[in-house]
């Protein structure tokens, strides 16, 4: 049993920081491994998903020194310095690990296999295998899913028009492009997160973006090492911020959050819904903008979301659904069929779990409609093994009457280790209940 128990909250207050950005942390490991020399990364996110990437690059012969305080030195061995792994590389539950590594491994002179747990092996991998094959990669899937078996191949550049806006697919192609002959061009249907391009450019790669087109031209010279501080993850910051919007009389600041515009769709949307959100003290680190973000309790109204906003908040829809239950009128989400192939089918899962709490939510093929405001009731709900569903339900629990019990909450550290502690710090009533002897975390008595 691993449950999170949440009680209805009194107001939330404080200034907190959230752990480092997950997407950037993955990329520091993967690109740091390919750089010539030592990269230093501060504020690395030691989440389940990023640790899967770290173990994979170690299995590829890269040494990573952990200095405490989430600072790492990654001893890059250059573009051709990876070693053949002895065993299949275990990406655990991390889609980013499997897809980005596939791009890198497609151009190596050794064979490799990428595998993961049952949840990851259900996710679509044809979306990377097909463009990589078009570049000459020798890659086999199991009916379009992992494990992926990759054999040595000579790659060539070319043009790719992506059917869906996906940073993972774009990144896999660009990373393979580092090993290709001739330029690789990716046309995106929407503005997927651009951390790979920013980081590659900072390392001296010839990568240029113009509108939704990205072009990478391989160079004969090596990538320079990184020296960067990872900003707080805006996807993680969204949980305390939305909680502050929903719980009466609250005001919470999250400091030092990454506010790359390809990631801030939720902040824009909740502002349009009437949420009081302030972004200040903006600065820049290695091409990535960061800022302090403050949210205060607000009356929200329903909104329609579709088009290019969707990709800019693709991970935030379970949380947006919770906010929508408290907003006046209808919130309609469209063009978001991608939600069905995330860690879980997030449309089906959030609809089934919020319904248990009394929400009026109608799932659709490519989104959902929620009519609010609805007084939520505490209930026994299920994370379905999905960290973002678990944390969204925890925020719902703060506005629900009585007690909300979230089953299977142990997945939360896949992206946000310390979530419960950060939420407690701002005054949220939440407590883990784990069976004594469970090796995944401390066992604590229930204290609500």
Residues serving a catalytic function are 315
Cβ atoms of 253 and 294 within 8 Å: the answer is yes
Of the candidates 260, 294, 261, the one whose C-alpha atom is nearest the C-alpha of residue 279 is: 294
| Joined tokens for residue 433 | 């209940």
Of the candidates 214, 139, 161, the one whose C-alpha atom is nearest the C-alpha of residue 183 is: 214
One residue of 25, 112, 168, 374 binding ligand S3P per CB under 6 A = 168
Cβ atoms of 384 and 349 within 8 Å: the answer is yes
Tell me whether residue 338 or residue 425 sits nearer to ligand S3P (CB atom).
Answer: 338
One residue of 108, 166, 215, 326 binding ligand S3P per CB under 6 A = 166
Instruction: Give residues 31-90 in contact with ligand S3P (rule: CB under 6 A).
Output: none
Under the binding rule (CB under 6 A), the answer on residue 167 touching ligand S3P is yes
Instruction: Give residues 113-152 in contact with ligand S3P (rule: CB under 6 A).
Output: none
- Nearest-CB residue for ligand S3P: 23
Tell me whether residue 104 or residue 379 sits nearer to ligand S3P (CB atom).
Answer: 104
CB neighbour list of residue 249: distance below 8 Å, 6 or more residues apart: 11, 297
DSSP bridge pairs for 278: 294
Tell me whether residue 5 or residue 45 sits nearer to ligand S3P (CB atom).
Answer: 45
Under the binding rule (CB under 6 A), the answer on residue 264 touching ligand S3P is no
What gap in Å lies between CA 371 and CA 320, rounded to an integer? 13
Phi then psi for residue 175, to 5 deg, are -65, -40
Q: Which stretch binds ligand S3P (CB under 6 A): 162-170, 180-188, 214-222, 274-282?
A: 162-170
CB neighbour list of residue 419: distance below 8 Å, 6 or more residues apart: 236, 239, 391, 394, 412, 413
Instruction: Give residues 20-39 in contact with ligand S3P (rule: CB under 6 A).
Output: 23, 26
Ramachandran sector of residue 68 (left: φ over 0; alpha: ψ -120 to 50; beta: rest): left
Tell me the closest approach of the beta carbon of residue 68 to ligand S3P, in angstroms. 25
Tell me whether residue 287 or residue 358 sits nearer to ligand S3P (CB atom).
Answer: 287
Site for ligand S3P (CB under 6 A): how many residues?
Answer: 12
Instruction: Give residues 297-356 in contact with ligand S3P (rule: CB under 6 A).
Output: 314-315, 338
Q: Which stretch binds ligand S3P (CB under 6 A): 84-92, 160-168, 277-285, 355-363?
A: 160-168
What gap in Å lies between CA 5 and CA 336, rounded to an integer? 30
Of the candidates 258, 194, 198, 248, the one whose C-alpha atom is nearest the C-alpha of residue 18 is: 258
One residue of 93, 193, 387, 422 binding ligand S3P per CB under 6 A = 193
Tell me the closest approach of the beta carbon of residue 338 to ligand S3P, in angstroms. 6
Tell me whether residue 169 or residue 357 sits nearer to ligand S3P (CB atom).
Answer: 169
Tell me the closest approach of the beta carbon of residue 391 to ligand S3P, in angstroms. 13
What gap in Å lies between CA 34 and CA 39, rounded to an integer? 10
Residues in contact with ligand S3P by the rule CB under 6 A: 23, 26, 96, 166-168, 171, 192-193, 314-315, 338
């Amino acid at each position: 049993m691993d449950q999170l128990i949440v009680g209805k909250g009194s107001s939330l207050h404080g200034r907190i920081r959230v752990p480092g950005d997950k997407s950037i942390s993955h990329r520091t490991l993967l690109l740091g491994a390919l750089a010539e020399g030592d990269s230093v990364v501060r504020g690395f996110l030691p989440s389940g998903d990023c640790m899967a990437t770290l173990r994979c690059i170690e299995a590829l012969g890269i040494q990573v020194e952990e200095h405490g305080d989430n600072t790492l030195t990654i001893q890059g061995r250059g573009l051709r310095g990876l070693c053949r792994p002895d065993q299949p590389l275990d990406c655990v539950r991390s889609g980013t690990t499997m897809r980005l590594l596939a791009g890198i491994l497609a151009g190596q002179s050794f064979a490799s296999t990428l595998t993961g747990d049952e949840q990851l092996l259900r996710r679509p991998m044809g979306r990377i295998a097909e463009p990589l094959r078009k570049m000459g990669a020798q890659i086999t899937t199991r009916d379009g899913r992992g494990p992926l078996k990759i054999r040595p191949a000579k790659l060539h550049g070319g043009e790719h028009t992506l059917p869906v806006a996906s940073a993972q697919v774009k990144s896999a192609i660009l990373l393979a492009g580092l090993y290709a002959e001739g330029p690789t061009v990716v046309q995106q249907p929407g503005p997927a997160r651009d951390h790979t391009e920013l980081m590659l450019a900072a390392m001296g790669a010839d990568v240029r973006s113009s509108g939704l087109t990205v072009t990478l031209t391989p160079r004969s010279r090596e990538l320079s090492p990184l020296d960067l501080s990872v900003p707080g993850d805006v996807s993680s910051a969204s949980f305390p911020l939305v909680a502050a919007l929903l719980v009466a009389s609250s005001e919470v600041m999250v400091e030092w959050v990454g506010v790359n515009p390809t990631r801030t769709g939720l902040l824009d949307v909740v502002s349009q819904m009437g949420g009081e959100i302030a972004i200040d003290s903006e600065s820049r680190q290695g091409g990535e903008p960061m800022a302090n973000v403050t949210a205060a309790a607000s009356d929200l109204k329903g909104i329609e979301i579709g088009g290019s906003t969707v990709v800019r908040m693709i991970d935030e829809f379970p949380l947006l659904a919770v906010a929508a239950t408290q907003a006046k009128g209808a919130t309609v989400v469209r063009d978001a069929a991608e939600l069905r192939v995330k860690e879980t089918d997030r449309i089906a899962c959030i609809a089934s779990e919020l319904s248990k709490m009394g929400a009026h939510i109608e799932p659709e093929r490519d989104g959902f409609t929620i009519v609010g405001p609805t007084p939520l009731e505490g209930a026994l709900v299920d994370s379905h093994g999905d960290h973002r569903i678990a944390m969204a339900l925890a925020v719902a629990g703060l506005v629900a009457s009585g007690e909300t019990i979230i089953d299977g909450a142990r997945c939360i550290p896949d992206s946000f280790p310390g979530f419960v502690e950060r939420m407690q710090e701002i005054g949220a009533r939440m407590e883990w209940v784990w069976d004594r002897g469970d090796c995944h975390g401390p066992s604590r008595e229930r204290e609500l």
